[in-house]
Structure 1
Amino acid sequence: MTKNMNAPSTRGPLDHSVREQIVDAATEHFGHYGYEKTTVSELAKSIGFSKSYIYKFFDSKQAIGEVICANRLEMIMEVVNSAVSDAPSASEKMRRLFRSLTEAGSELFFHDRKLYDIAAVAARDKWPSTEKHEERLHNLIESIITEGRTAGEFERKTPLDEATQAIYLVMRPYVSPVQLQYNLEAAPTAAALLSSLILRSLSP
Structure 2
Amino acid sequence: MNKATTYPVSARGPADHDVRDQIVTAATEHFSRYGYEKTTVSDLAKAIGFSKAYIYKFFESKQAIGEMICANCLREIETEVSAAIAGADTPPEKLRRMFKAMTEASLRLFFQDRKLYEIAASAATERWQAVHAYEERIQKLLQDVLQEGRQTGDFERKTPLDETALAIYLVMRPYLNPLLLQHSFDYNKEAPAHLSSLVLRSLSP
Common fold: TM-score over 0.5: yes
Aligned equivalent of 1:116: 117
Aligned equivalent of 1:101: 102
Residue 16 (1) aligns with residue 34 (2): no
Structure 1 SS opposite 2:36: coil
Structure 2 SS opposite 1:185: helix
User: Residue 80 of structure 1 contacts residue 101 of structure 1 at CA under 8 Å; is this kept in 2?
Assistant: yes
Identical counterparts, % of pairs:
60
Structure 1 SS opposite 2:127: coil
Superposed CA deviations along residues 45-104 of structure 1, whole A, max 9, x for unmatched, are 111112111111111001101110110001111110111112010000000001000000
* 1:12-161 map, 5 Å: 15-161=16-162
C-alpha deviation, 1:111, in angstroms: 1.8
CA–CA distance in structure 2, aligned partners of residues 203 and 40 of structure 1: 53
C-alpha deviation, 1:115, in angstroms: 1.8
**Runs of 5+ unmatched residues, structure 1:** 1-10
CA–CA distance in structure 2, aligned partners of residues 32 and 23 of structure 1: 14
C-alpha deviation, 1:117, in angstroms: 2.1
Question: Residue type of the partner of 2:122?
Answer: V
User: Residue 109 of structure 1 contacts residue 181 of structure 1 at CA under 8 Å; is this kept in 2?
Assistant: no
Moved over 6 A (4+): none
Residue 200 (1) aligns with residue 201 (2): yes
CA–CA distance in structure 2, aligned partners of residues 84 and 113 of structure 1: 29
Structure 2 SS opposite 1:198: helix
User: Residue 91 of structure 2 contacts residue 154 of structure 2 at CA under 8 Å; is this kept in 1?
Assistant: yes
C-alpha deviation, 1:187, in angstroms: 1.5
C-alpha deviation, 1:12, in angstroms: 5.5
Structure number with greater Rg is: 1
Superposed CA deviations along residues 101-140 of structure 1, whole A, max 9, x for unmatched, are 0000111234222222212211111111110000011001
**Runs of 5+ unmatched residues, structure 2:** 1-12
CA–CA distance in structure 2, aligned partners of residues 152 and 166 of structure 1: 20
Question: Residue type of the partner of 2:127?
Answer: K
User: Residue 110 of structure 2 contacts residue 120 of structure 2 at CA under 8 Å; is this kept in 1?
Assistant: no
Structure 2 SS opposite 1:130: helix
Superposed CA deviations along residues 133-159 of structure 1, whole A, max 9, x for unmatched, are 000110011011100000000000111
Aligned length: 193
CA–CA distance in structure 1, aligned partners of residues 73 and 99 of structure 2: 18
CA–CA distance in structure 1, aligned partners of residues 52 and 186 of structure 2: 41
CA–CA distance in structure 1, aligned partners of residues 111 and 165 of structure 2: 29
Aligned equivalent of 1:171: 172
Q: Over aligned residues, Cα RMSD in angstroms?
A: 1.3
CA–CA distance in structure 2, aligned partners of residues 117 and 184 of structure 1: 18
CA–CA distance in structure 2, aligned partners of residues 106 and 75 of structure 1: 12
